[in-house]
A and B are shown apart, each in its own frame.
Chain A
């Protein structure tokens, strides 16, 4: 397929891998931010082409994984109400809350629907005036503009039966939180290409400078990731710590400005809890006061119940790169994609789920 096969070419991948081997002289630890990148790395086996000196840590960039349990419980509470049509992106439906998940709420009679865009939820609200339509707005800067547009449209249309449960998160504050952690091993970042397509990469310059860490805006196909790794290693080997753009076919330095303006119009920056990490200041988006009527939490008066994560789950350590998924004692035993204990096993883009799905056998894991 055009614009895809070129980036999955086996021979070119080997050439990149040889070049990475050639330039690497010391051990380096890199983190790919985005769950999409993690998934591609494990699915295509990209890390197996890298020299032993290079360790890839799988970052917190899976929006489904980092959505806090409390928020999922709120979603479940709202979705159970008989007057509600609850809408969300598909992979959010399988994520377990503390007692059940949205698919089970649906099986038990709740009206839970998959939508491909929050704008579809606005349409549903127009078509079903007697029902309350709630959209579960999850994701990074990539999906936030669509959520913002939906709220904006709903306001223009004066819809009173539409609201959103918002759990949007921002990438740069999470990167900074990781860098500030005393256990941080990350020496270079592959930044999430699609986040940068929206936000540009101006935000990364202060981070690269302050923490002396190379940040390479990277795409999602095997050759993108290999080139991103190569560019990071080249910087590390030559003692540089700069922001570079590997994904120039999709990302401009200033990003998508109309999308950013829309975000500013609808959202304010708020503190947000990340599942597996904890609360990070200024790391989330919440509705501005003038759009408060669309806030499902307020509308339905759902209260936050503090819930305990499973004591067996080590996803926080996985997200910080202190252990690999298979080093967790619960991995594949108590914790599987069908019965996930924590953040990184819940979505197909979580590091534990990717390891489970593609290389849960001891000999495959031993290969890297």
Chain B
């Protein structure tokens, strides 16, 4: 009889299972539940200095060169939506995560999890869209993987892309580098991608079609760097929108953020749709927008550069201290309140 194999004990599950015996959709919604899951389960399990910076892309050294590395999975439904599709999004999203570290994107991987029965034509359209987006972003897809799952076990197709970029500057662009007094800028109007998807998914019809803002932003970031702007931190406004992004930064940087409602640009049709559904455009996802934390002396020059790409870019607030980890919003009638991290998915309200 062979000796007993040593048993590898699993530690107690750090996410309170008594409260959540199952994973909820909200655990991926970009709000508090997702942060709890990431913080208590993934970060606790995998902790290391690079991961612990909790940046959109990890910056690490490889044979003396600084590189940025990131990965993201795309599970959007519908696969094609006004302003983009899952293919272009899978390229833009990962390229944007690299850009948030100030990296020049170079290589991508692409893994497809395809549901049995997906029309070949649909897959080809997605692949063509990825090819076009990669070309536009100047990246090459250099490796990949293909899996097919049973009908009913996927939502058409899921795509994972990982990306590698080169960091060609000496700045430390990370939440931990946000300083009191930093100006907060946003690169355009917010909330458009989320509403474009919601409108198609729920069959809501508005007078004008709301188009996703899905787009690469690395060009904007490289221009900021080239102009010698001392970027302290960048964060793209994806799940959970501007609100989640600002709260993540406030917490990771241990700073107080103060933003002004009136200064944040939301397109008319997006605002109207949000009003109807009872959603908050600041909590609604973007796919081509980011927030930048920049020293006040460079803010005006930075704004000028952002405005080349979107006339809706603006200064929305500043970093202060006193209430570390909290984001405040000055309402349209001039009163200050908390801008809280959403709990989970936004749900349309009753009345």
Q: Which residues of A contact B (CB under 8 A)?
A: 1, 4, 8-10, 13-14, 36, 42-46, 48-49, 63-64, 89-94, 103-104, 106-108, 114, 116, 138-140, 142-143, 194, 222, 337-339, 347-349, 356-361, 364
Give which listed residue, A13, A48, A103, A194, contacts B25 with CB less than 8 A: A103
Chain A: CB-nearest residue to B333? A13
Question: CA–CA, A276 to B114, complex, Å?
Answer: 49
> Does B255 sit within 8 A of A, measured CB to CB?
no
Is the beta-carbon distance between B331 and A338 smaller than 8 angstroms?
no
Is the beta-carbon distance between B32 and A338 smaller than 8 angstroms?
yes
Question: CA–CA, A93 to B33, complex, Å?
Answer: 16
A-B contact pairs, 17 of them (CB 8 A): A1-B275, A8-B332, A9-B333, A13-B334, A43-B331, A43-B337, A44-B331, A44-B335, A45-B337, A63-B350, A63-B351, A108-B21, A114-B348, A116-B348, A222-B332, A338-B343, A364-B337
> Does B26 sit within 8 A of A, measured CB to CB?
yes
Lowest 10 A-B CB distances belong to which pairs? A45-B335, A90-B347, A90-B348, A107-B22, A13-B333, A358-B337, A89-B350, A91-B349, A142-B351, A44-B331
> Does B323 sit within 8 A of A, measured CB to CB?
yes
Chain A: CB-nearest residue to B350? A89
Given contacts A89-B350, A107-B25, A349-B349, could you give 7 more A-B pairs where the C-beta distance is less than 8 Å? Answer: A44-B335, A90-B347, A90-B348, A94-B343, A337-B343, A338-B33, A361-B326
Question: CA–CA, A337 to B166, complex, Å?
Answer: 42
> Does B118 sit within 8 A of A, measured CB to CB?
no
Question: CA–CA, A94 to B29, complex, Å?
Answer: 14
Is the beta-carbon distance between A339 and B22 smaller than 8 angstroms?
no
Is the beta-carbon distance between B23 and A45 smaller than 8 angstroms?
no
Provide the residues of chain A in CB contact with B334, threshold 8 Å: 10, 13-14, 45
> Does B24 sit within 8 A of A, measured CB to CB?
yes
- With both chains docked as a complex, state the minimum distance between the C-beta of B29 and any C-beta of chain A, in angstroms: 11
Question: CA–CA, A90 to B198, complex, Å?
Answer: 13
- With both chains docked as a complex, state the minimum distance between the C-beta of A361 and any C-beta of chain B, in angstroms: 7
Is the beta-carbon distance between A104 and B22 smaller than 8 angstroms?
yes
> Does B235 sit within 8 A of A, measured CB to CB?
no
Is the beta-carbon distance between A1 and B349 smaller than 8 angstroms?
no
Chain A: CB-nearest residue to B262? A10
Assess A48 versus B335: contact at CB under 8 Å? Given A337-B343, A358-B340: yes
Is the beta-carbon distance between B349 and A90 smaller than 8 angstroms?
yes
Provide the residues of chain A in CB contact with B275, threshold 8 Å: 1, 4
Chain A: CB-nearest residue to B347? A90
Provide the residues of chain B in CB contact with A91, threshold 8 Å: 278, 347-350
Provide the residues of chain A in CB contact with B337, threshold 8 Å: 42-43, 45, 358-359, 364
Provide the residues of chain B in CB contact with A140, threshold 8 Å: 351
> Does B297 sit within 8 A of A, measured CB to CB?
no
> Does B128 sit within 8 A of A, measured CB to CB?
no
Question: CA–CA, A10 to B333, complex, Å?
Answer: 4
- With both chains docked as a complex, state the minimum distance between the C-beta of A334 and any C-beta of chain B, in angstroms: 13
- With both chains docked as a complex, state the minimum distance between the C-beta of A188 and any C-beta of chain B, in angstroms: 22
Chain B: CB-nearest residue to A354? B337
Assess A107 versus B23: contact at CB under 8 Å? Given A45-B333, A116-B202, A338-B343: yes
Chain B: CB-nearest residue to A48? B335
> Does B170 sit within 8 A of A, measured CB to CB?
no
Give which listed residue, B272, B323, B343, contacts A361 with CB less than 8 A: B323
Is the beta-carbon distance between B347 and A45 smaller than 8 angstroms?
no
Provide the residues of chain A in CB contact with B349, threshold 8 Å: 89-91, 347-349
Give which listed residue, A1, A49, A358, A364, contacts B268 with CB less than 8 A: A1
Question: CA–CA, A143 to B350, complex, Å?
Answer: 8
Provide the residues of chain B in CB contact with A359, threshold 8 Å: 337-338
- B4-28 CB mask vs A (1 if < 8 Å, else 0) is 0000000000000001111111100
Is the beta-carbon distance between A94 and B202 smaller than 8 angstroms?
no
- With both chains docked as a complex, state the minimum distance between the C-beta of B74 and any C-beta of chain A, in angstroms: 22
Is the beta-carbon distance between B335 and A139 smaller than 8 angstroms?
no
- With both chains docked as a complex, state the minimum distance between the C-beta of A56 and any C-beta of chain B, in angstroms: 14
Provide the residues of chain A in CB contact with B20, threshold 8 Å: 104
